[in-house]
Structure 1
Amino acid sequence: MFRRKANAHSDKETEELQRESKMKELKAALGPLSGRNLQFCDDACLRRYLEARNWNVDKSKKMLDETVKWRSSFKPEEIRWHEVAAEGETGKVSRASFHDRQGRSVLILRPGMQNTTSIDNQIKHLVYLIENAILNLPEGQEQMAWLIDFTGWSITNNVPIKSARDTINILQNHYPERLAVAFLYSPPRIFETFWKIVKYFLDAKTFQKVKFVYPKNKDSVELMTSYFDVDNLPTEFGGKATLKYNHEEFSEKMVEDDVKTAKLWGFDKQVNSEQPNGFSSAEVAPEPESDTPTSISAV
């Protein structure tokens, strides 16, 4: 028995050494990095991309190269709340004030609350909130959880296939290993037709993270509560908490987080002569009025 334990420990050490070697190999393959690319491609990032490609260095490098190119063009770290606030008026995507049992950030998605028609703006809004969820991860945690509420969803306000495909592409190719689990709570039967198409856009790893939960299915409910404290979980997802989205309060929180984002990426060091506080108008949304409360309701 002791020999088996020793062997298991030795195997684990060997595996970790091999992974460290592959991280060094990937870092060398990427070549010299600077600025935001250097900040983005830290050791944790390299590990996520290697994990996403089963520790194949060549495939991981290709994936990471594509992400660096995408980030250079899309500039997700530069998006500020005032640019996407109109998309969030109905609360169709928001970051919850609670975490799951593992301390992960939680995004709540309500596809039935769609309020706009521009796919580009919808994706920009989602990317902003993915970045915001990452910003609010506790130390040592790298993943988030998604809760999807189908209240009000119908085939008439359904997300277009192209939008769903683009969203999945961004999530699994540019934010690999950021999603821990996505719970689809009580989707209507008609959703099955949509799902039969969408699921083919998912890679095997992402597919395994998607969980369907039905209130009358004991096993699926137990799985969900293994991830969430029912006292924190909103009633819309079978919990005990009241979920109420307040756009004004949520906006105030996002503006506060925009300042954190600017500091994280070094934008606070860029002095603009027209902005005595050191931020340009493109970097941070306007500060809320002084007489506006700064609290955020549980969402």
Structure 2
Amino acid sequence: MRAPTSRAPQPFLFSTAPRLGLIITRLAGRPKSNLHSSSFRASNILRAFSSPALALTRPSSSSSSKSALPRGFLSRRDICDRKTYSPLLTSQARKVHCERRQFSEYGHSSYQVLKSQISSALYIIPLVVFGAFVFYGSATFNSEQQLVSGDSAGDYSGKEDVVAMEQLPGRPGNLTPEQDEKLRKFWEMFLQVCGVLGDDAAGNDTETASETASRTGTKETEKPKKSRMSLFKKKKDKEKGTTTPTKIAAMESLKENDPEDKWGENKAYLETLATHPPEQIRATIWSMVKHDHPDALLLRFLRARKWDLQRALVMLMSTMNWRCSDAHVDDVIMARGEEFAAVNEKSGDAKSKKLAEDFLAQLRMGKSFCYGADKAGRPICVVRARLHKAGEQSEEGLELFTVYLIETTRFMLRPPVDTACVLFDLTGFSYANMDYTPVKFMIKCFEANYPESLGVVLVHKAPWVFQGIWKIIKGWLDPVVASKVHFTNNLKDLEEFIDAKRIPDDLEGTSGYTYKYKEPVPGENAKMKDIETKEKLLQERELLYEEYESKTLEWINEPDAGKRAVLHAERDAIAKNLREQYWRLDPYLRSRSYYDRVGVIKPDGGVDYYPSPVAPTNGTAAAIAAGETAANDVD
């Protein structure tokens, strides 16, 4: 008789595989003539699948009796003598089967099935597939972890980090001759679009002197005819009020609906030329420079577009259009800042109040904040995904907070460090925290509007549920950006990138730091009301812009390498003046942030990633921290 029918249900995977093995084993032992006989019926195969699953565990010593065997357990008597399964085995096949198989003292039939090579394969393959499915996430994460080399022990050493950063290619002072030539040509194209170059400039039809010399084989002792570029057009256009940007012949073939244009940059480029006067284009792009070296800004776009001049110019103009027309980065987001939101939170209209509440709520909870630097000297931005709930903040509020934090982090970059470390803390993450809309916006920001700003992205303690989410997000990322993503599972993994003494306490570090927001202080933005001083500083800065442009034109035209080096040094000196002058202008343009109040960003542009916990506690102290008007603010 069959074993009792009451038993725990078997999982499908474990109940099906042995039956497949049993069927194939029996088919393998049956003569081919019998396979086609009428006695071999499909119902016999179905019967095997409807039978109980084979036992997969060794029976205990007390289960030697037939009644103690679990349901579905087949002993030698079951296979060779019982008639229960006789429809599947002929007497001859059963005899051969019994002669070829010798059971162990435990005698369970799963061993007999596995002795057949065919059955063994069919039994193991489903288990392998199941195991691969279960451990897919950790296997994928481990394969994608490309941990940087470095000593994880010892104190943070800024000197060693600076040496490593200086060796990064494609930065000011570390360009190949080909890259230097690309930069010169890119400046020429940029100045043409801004209306700086004269009508007789050779940007459209005439090559630069160095290009002419290289193509015609002109000797170094001979002086090739220089292309005529000057500031004459810019001054003449100001007098006449010209509002049409100069068109570049190399850009005439640009297609608005290019399928390879991921972010619609071609369309934005054409719209920018059609709707913005050259003076506005120039002013907006110069405002993007802030405290950076102008060359460093343009090189970001060249590196992002693999030194393709046309694509780099399209990207630069698209970014300019986004900052000026869409996001209003400088004139709204950074000018209003946290104090403006604090006022609107209490007395604004319904829409303004909601936006202010959403913006400040994210700052107060510390959904994302900057603290410290990694081993490469890059400022660290921590994103605590568990604090985000889809729908809690409006889309506009999320975008405002994202741009504000990215722009603020820019002030923490100091050459040669020009990228940041973003750490996504997925501790306690669940599907309730997932929101694809802000993720897409963040990806667009870094890929389209803040090129070459990401140094490394750390995804810490990603749970199993994140596997499918990462598969989707990775498909949206540019391969270069995706290659910067690393997965860390514990403190030891994090220490490959960040010294343990610099890791916040809630990430199991020993820094002693816990984020706590400090509210805006009344009077901290008093300088922004001093319009007279602001205008004088802006005029001073405009003169520096024109001086830099003039020296750049000389640098572009100069065919002699030695003289070009001298001009390049003069440009660097002007860039240094621009940097120093910006920090005198900064408190008149930018609202103070949390990082100004706690002392991370200094009034003179210095940065202290680990400031003293003592912070200004009243309006007077906060105003001093923001920087009072000094005698040298205005010459």
Question: What range describes the TM-score normalised by the shorter chain of this pair?
Answer: 0.7 to 0.9
Distance change in 2, residues 1:192/1:293 (3 Å): farther
Distance across 1 between alignment mates of 2:532 and 2:432: 42
**Which residue in the other structure is 2:329 paired with?**
76
Task: For residue 211 of structure 1, report the CA deviation from its aligned partner.
Answer: 0.7
Residue type at the aligned position of 1:148: F
Q: CA RMSD in A?
A: 3.6
Residue 501 of structure 2 is aligned to residue 231 of structure 1: yes
Q: Distance in 2 between matches of 1:143 and 1:269?
A: 30
2:282 paired residue among 18, 34, 39: 34
Displaced runs of 4 or more, over 3 A: 12-15, 235-238, 278-283, 285-289, 291-294
Q: Structure 1 residues 73-82 or 17-26, which shifts more?
A: 73-82
- Asked if the contact 2:506/2:514 (under 8 Å) is kept, the reply is no
Residue 215 (structure 1) aligns with: 490
Task: State the AA in 1 paired with 2:509.
Answer: G
Preserved contact between residue 461 and residue 488 of structure 2 (Cα < 8 Å): yes
290, 294, 297: which one pairs with 2:618? 290
Distance 1:230 1:144, change over 3 A: same
> Which residue of 1 is the match for residue 139 of structure 2?
none
User: 1:165 is matched with which residue: 440, 443, 447?
Assistant: 440
Matches within 5 A, 1:1-299: 16-30=176-190, 31-32=193-194, 34-40=282-288, 42-73=294-325, 74-77=327-330, 78-79=332-333, 80-82=337-339, 83=341, 84-96=359-371, 98-114=372-388, 116-159=392-435, 161-215=436-490, 221=493, 224-248=494-518, 251=519, 269=534, 284=591, 290=618
1:44-86 Cα offsets, whole Å, 9 max, x none, are 0111111111111111111111101101121223421243323
Q: Quote the residue 1:274 is aligned against.
A: none
Specify whether residues 226 and 152 from structure 1 end up closer, same or farther in structure 2 by C-alpha distance, changes over 3 A only: closer
Further displaced range: 279-288 or 67-76:
279-288
Q: Structure 1: give runs of 5+ residues left out of the alignment.
A: 1-11, 272-277, 295-299
The alignment partner of 2:414 has SS state of coil
3-state SS of the aligned residue for 1:226?
coil
Q: In structure 2, how many angstroms separate the alpha carbons of the residues matched to 1:204 and 1:136?
A: 27
Instruction: Give the whole-Å Cα distance in 1 for the aligned partners of 2:508 and 2:484.
Output: 20
Residues 242 and 285 of structure 1: CA distance in aligned 2, closer, same or farther (over 3 Å): closer
> Closer, same or farther in 2 for the Cα pair 1:99/1:90, shift >3 Å?
same
TM-score (norm 2): 0.37
1:293 CA displacement: 8.5
Post-superposition CA distance 1:199-255 (Å, at most 9, x none): 111101100111111129x6xx1xx4232111111244443223412122xx459x9
8 Å CA contact 1:108, 1:148 repeated in 2: yes
Contact kept? 1:50, 1:60, Cα under 8 Å: yes
Distance in 2, matches of 1:17 and 1:75, equals 37
Match of 1:151, SS state, is coil
Q: CA deviation at 1:267?
A: 11
In our comparison, the structure showing a higher alpha carbon Rg is 2
> What is the alpha-carbon distance in structure 1 between the residues aligned to residue 302 and residue 526 of structure 2?
31
The letter of the residue matching 1:194 is: I
Contact 1:148–1:184 under 8 Å retained in 2: yes
Change (3 A) 1:205 1:139: same
1:208–1:292 distance in 2 versus 1, CA, 3 Å: farther
The answer to whether the 8 Å contact 1:233/1:240 transfers is: yes
Mapped contact 2:446–2:452 kept (Cα < 8 A): no
Q: Provide the rounded CA distance (Å) in 1 between the counterparts of 2:456 and 2:174.
A: 29
Q: Is the 1:143–1:179 contact (alpha carbons within 8 Å) kept by the matching residues of 2? A: yes
Q: For 1:44 and 1:129, locate their aligned partners in 2 and report how far apart those are by CA, in whole Å.
A: 21
One-letter code of the match for 1:108?
V
Question: Distance between the aligned counterparts of 1:173 and 1:235, measured in 2?
Answer: 34
How far does residue 181 in structure 1 lie from its aligned partner after superposition? 0.4
Q: How much has 1:118 moved relative to structure 2?
A: 0.9
Paired with 1:137 and 1:259, the residues of 2 have a C-alpha distance of 26
Percent of pairs with identical residues: 24
Contact 1:105 1:136 in 2 (8 A): yes
User: CA 1:279–1:118 in structure 2 vs 1: closer, same or farther (change >3 Å)?
Assistant: same
User: Structure 1's 270 and 183: CA in aligned 2 closer, same or farther, altered over 3 A?
Assistant: same
CA offsets, 1:242-280, max 9 Å, x none? Answer: 3412122xx459x97x899x7xxx997159xxxxxx999
For residues 462 and 178 of structure 2, the distance between their equivalents in structure 1, rounded to whole angstroms, comes to 43
Residue 501 of structure 2 aligns to a residue in which SS? coil
Q: CA deviation at 1:163?
A: 2.0
- Residue 292 of structure 1: how far off its partner (Å): 9.7
Secondary structure, aligned partner of 2:467: helix
Q: Structure 1 stretch 178-187 or stretch 109-118: which is displaced more?
A: 109-118
Q: TM-score, normalised by structure 1?
A: 0.76
The secondary structure found in structure 1 opposite 2:316 is helix
SS in 2 for 1:106: strand
Shift of the alpha carbon at 1:152?
3.2
Does the aligned pair in 1 maintain the 2:301–2:451 contact within 8 Å?
yes
